[in-house]
Amino acid sequence: MKVVVLGAGIIGVSTAWYLLEQGHEVTVVDRQEDAALETSFANGAQISVSFCEPWANAGAPFKVAKWLLKDDSPLLFRPRLDPAQWRWGLSFLGQCTTAAFERNVEELVQLGRYSHASLKELVAQTGIEYERLERGILHFFSSQADFEAGAIAAEIMQRHGVDRRILNREEVLAVEPALRSFQHGVFGGTFTPSDESGDARIFTQKLAKLCAERGATFLWEHDVLALEQAGGSIVGAQVASRLSGQKRSLKADAYVAAMASYTPALLKPLGEHLNIYPAKGYSATLKLKRPDDASVVSLLDDGRKIAISRLGDTIRIAGTAELAGFDLSLDSATSRSRCASLVKRYEELFPGVADTSEPNFWTGLRPSTPTNIPYIGRSKKAKNLWLNAGHGTLGWTHGAGSGHALAELMAGRAPDMAFGFYGDALPEKRIRSMATA
Ligand SMILES: Cc1cc2nc3c(=O)[nH]c(=O)nc-3n(C[C@H](O)[C@H](O)[C@H](O)COP(=O)(O)OP(=O)(O)OC[C@H]3O[C@@H](n4cnc5c(N)ncnc54)[C@H](O)[C@@H]3O)c2cc1C
């Protein structure tokens, strides 16, 4: 079958890979000149199967209200005259109950496990190298109260079958000795040894090359303009070259929409309404001056809600979220202060370890759903249109598995996990959804 995949981030490229595995003829379209040049470019680098709690939980409304409009808050909500933003916000509030949280966590754990297994298999098969470190993720706390809350969260995750260990200060320092310079600020931590880290951009770009070697066609620098529908099916994807301006309609048997935060706008004219809203995040990548003194275990700094991951001879510091539309700028006063605070915090934790004189700053838009659960499955409006979008804070973690699962669904097979796939993905309803598992 001929398949057109729209979007070449981690999600689109991994979908293309698994479709090629099944012998399909694949064309991938992206407006950029290579894969992973948007949200998958410089993220926190964590494969965090065991740290997958969604933002929506029973305590979130109180925290978000406290942070509302505070420029330096970890989650900043800037109200706009934008119905999509309000719809998302109201739906997010609806997920802020203990029951919804537990349900969402369980699905995210399921997808995370499936994805981790898919990633390991894919890496073993292809030998892709991407600064991978299988050293776990260590979440450390800078106050006793936060540590106690973190220990409760660890117990909740343990109930979902996740190996998240509670560590005292000495145990934290034993897991990551580089934190010694900040030891008096560490009150304890939680540790998930099976998690890992690696560079999503390098992985995705190398996987795209392997896809091309296996016969996939990549149409770079092409905007996806619209989907053409007739009789309940998609009959073409209208694209335009950014170089020549030339428009054409790509014909295929099936289409996959994997355009992250831009997917809802593409599907809206079909009458399909996806609740994905962009949550802007920041990262700083610094060259290491003293690599031997830098961390190798991927870190979560609870005090600032940031991730710190070692990528070869650099360190990546990433975090914060702004719900403020599609703005990607780095030069506003808020952006400048957010970027500066990432570097400042790294220097507090690891003084003199990195070169802070030339930080590489970046912003990306997490394609966020109120549950943090992505749309993976079949469109409700066109039977040959498939969705793989809305991976929020965990698209790198869930990348390989989301591609694998969608290719399985397209082949009429049920992926082996209890996950609520979107739409009528399998006519026989063989999916063990959370309601029936
Ligand atoms: C600061 C930050 C830190 C993060 N940290 C982590 C982490 O540690 N671990 C983790 O698992 N996840 C993390 N994430 C989330 C993760 O990066 C995303 O979920 C993931 O990259 C989404 O992948 P994607 O393929 O859906 O999107 P993208 O990579 O954005 O791919 C979508 C593609 O669609 C293309 N496109 C869009 N519209 C059009 C159009 N009209 N025409 C043509 N092409 C189009 C874009 O060019 C893009 O290449 C983080 C995100 C941010 C912002």
Q: Could you give all domains of the chain from N- to C-terminal order, each with its CATH number?
A: 53-105+131-196+277-368 (3.30.9.10)
First to last CA, the chain: 32
Per-residue pLDDT, 435: 37
Pocket of ligand 1 (CB under 6 A): 7-12, 29-32, 36-40, 43-46, 48, 223-224, 258-260, 262, 281-283, 307, 318, 364, 366-367, 389, 391-397
For CA atoms 7, 8, 14, 16, the dihedral sign is positive
For ligand 1, the distance from its centroid to the CA atom of residue 389, given in whole angstroms, is 9
Residue 169, amino acid: R
The pLDDT, as a whole number, for residue 327 is 93
- The torsion of the CA quartet 244, 246, 249, 251, rounded to 10 degrees, works out to -40
Task: Give the pLDDT score at 334.
Answer: 85
Query: What CA–CA distance (Å, rounded) separates 6 from 16?
Result: 10
User: Best mutation site among 5, 34, 38 for ligand 1, i.e. most ligand atoms within 8 A of its Cβ?
Assistant: 38
Atom from ligand 1 closest to the CA of residue 365: 53
Minimal-distance CA residue to ligand 1 atom 35: 7
Residue 96 has what pLDDT?
A: 94
Rounded CA-CA distance 320/308 in Å is 13
Give the Cα separation of 182 and 407 in Å (integer).
46
| Ligand 1 atom index nearest CA of 394 | 11
CB atoms within 10 A of CB 384: 17
Instruction: Using DSSP, state whether 304 is helix, strand or coil.
Output: coil
Q: Which residue is associated with the tokens 């995949």?
A: 5
Write down the pTM of the prediction. Answer: 0.96
Find out whether 36 and 77 touch, Cβ atoms under 8 Å: no
pLDDT of res. 403:
98
Mutate to test the pocket of ligand 1, among 39, 218, 277, 297 (most ligand atoms within 8 A of CB): 39
Rounded to the nearest angstrom, the distance between the alpha carbon of 40 and the centre of ligand 1 is 4
pLDDT at position 432 is 44
Decide: 246 and 240 in contact? Cβ < 8 Å: yes
Q: Cα of 174 to ligand 1 centre, how many Å?
A: 34
Ligand 1 mutation target, pool 43, 130, 263, most atoms within 8 A of CB = 43
| Number of H-type helices and E-type strands within the chain | 10, 20
Stretches in the chain below the pLDDT threshold 70: 68-69, 71, 425-437
Residue where the block lists tokens 């145990």:
171
Which stretches does DSSP call E strand in 188-297?
Answer: 188-192, 196-197, 217-219, 222-230, 233-241, 247-250, 254-257, 277-288
Nearest CA to ligand 1 atom 30: 39
- Ligand 1 atom closest to residue 260's alpha carbon, by position in its atom list: 26
Going from the Cα of 39 to the center of ligand 1, the distance in angstroms, rounded, reads 3
pLDDT at position 294, please? Answer: 98
